[in-house]
Amino acid sequence: MAAGDSGMPDQRRTSAVSVVRIRGRALPDGEWIDLYADGDRWTTDPVQNAELVAEGWVLPGLVDAHTHPGAEAPGQPLDEELLRVDLGRHAEHGVTLIRAPGLAGEPPSWFGTDPDLPRAVHAGPWIAQHGQFFADWGRRTTHADLPEVAATQAARTGWAKVIADWLPGDAPLPVDVLRAVVAAVHAVGGRVAVHTQHGAGGAAAVAAGVDSVEHGMHLDPALLHRMAEQGTALTPTLSVINGASQRLRDTADSPRRRWALGGAAAHGPLVAAAAEAGVTLLAGTDSRPHGRVADEVRALVAAGVRPHVALGAASWTARDYLGLPGLVPGAPADAVVYPDDPRQHLDRLDRPGAVVLRGRLVRAAAG
């Protein structure tokens, strides 16, 4: 909370503070910290003219690890103005880092570097087989060309996103193709995220050793220990799958409806089992509106994931997985501050008292 405040007032955007200082109990360990922003790096050494802007429970920012900002609906092109609005909503709710495993177009030069908007990791456009995925989004390629296409993308941005399966009845990518993709991408120092919502696609992704499984609906729980052993993360997008299943309950019966409802019913228990097995969980919201990563944390907890693990999936765990350290000297100067332990007050999680991004106070308590 802002120094001197005692509640959770409305938020306002601010950049008037010249040098930011924060202090409080830092998660994940709960140790006391007193940090100064020296440019875009935290330091414990006092910095001249620093202003204490927030004190309370401190996280190294929230992370939405599966978000597709900048397009109004599937298949529509990237809109730069909308992209800025979407990212602004993320920042308002404490998100200082996003991963976009799939974008509707080439992002502008300011993407991930604008001082008021979250840092960003992205995988460029989705890569799919012919005849699958949303029309007018992503690239379609043959099995033979897919490894080279994915490696070229990952060499540019660090990630490639591959659609391993799509609608019921569609053929999933063969495991040997995914293995070749992983080998090619890893050879250029990149990582592979794979969309899968079918058992066969999930099994192929795990067998191929992909870096992250996105959604993972219908994933065989017997594969969870292997995922943990090889470091394959799971981004379950549980809140959006739960929401979609609620809407489907009022629709007519069909094979696709039964597939979706069956997968959704099993997804929460699968995610809880993944956490118990030691799989790295990443919190992602997947769909509009943006700035709802707190909903994903609450969905994880409702499914049986411990609050500490669920919050880590949207903060320090995800940040570490994506290559950024937490609240330590020399780390990028990002933080989100709450007046109380957010693990005990999940209802307040999307109303931070202060947000610091790149050493600047971009969100603070009003009044």
Task: Give the pLDDT confidence of 199-218 residue by residue, as tens digits.
Answer: 999 999 999 999 999 999 99
For the stretch 15-41, pLDDT in tens is 567 899 999 999 999 999 999 999 999
For the stretch 218-249, pLDDT in tens is 999 999 999 999 999 999 999 999 998 888 88
Q: What is the mean pLDDT of the chain?
A: 93
The more confident residue out of 255 and 158 is: 158
Give the whole-angstrom CA distance, residue 219 versus residue 266.
Answer: 9
Q: Is the confidence at residue 141, as pLDDT, over 50?
A: yes
Three-state secondary structure call for residue 196: strand
For the stretch 160-170, pLDDT in tens is 999 999 999 99
For the stretch 67-77, pLDDT in tens is 999 999 999 99
Q: Is the confidence at residue 360, as pLDDT, over 80?
A: yes
Q: What confidence category does residue 5 fall into, taking pLDDT thresholds of 50, 70 and 90?
A: very low
Q: Is the confidence at residue 3, as pLDDT, over 60?
A: no
For the stretch 244-291, pLDDT in tens is 888 888 888 898 899 999 999 999 999 999 999 999 999 999 999 999
The share of the chain scoring above pLDDT 70, in percent, equals 95
Taking CA atoms, 7 is separated from 1, 2, 12, 23, 335, in Å, by 7, 9, 15, 17, 19
Give the whole-angstrom CA distance, residue 159 versus residue 173.
Answer: 18
For the stretch 319-358, pLDDT in tens is 999 999 999 999 999 999 999 999 999 999 989 999 999 9
* pTM across the whole model: 0.94
Q: Is the confidence at residue 140, as pLDDT, over 70?
A: yes
**Helix runs in the chain, H state only:** 80-92, 146-157, 175-187, 199-208, 224-230, 238-248, 255-277, 293-303, 307-313, 316-321
Q: If you search the block for the tokens 């001197």, which residue do you land on? A: 4
**Among the listed residues 126, 175, 120, 176, the one whose alpha carbon sits nearest the alpha carbon of residue 149:** 126
Domains of the chain (ranges; CATH) run 11-60+326-365 (2.30.40.10), 62-321 (3.20.20.140)
Both tokens of 70, joined, read: 């900048």
Give the whole-angstrom CA distance, residue 200 versus residue 174.
Answer: 9
For the stretch 309-321, pLDDT in tens is 999 999 999 999 9
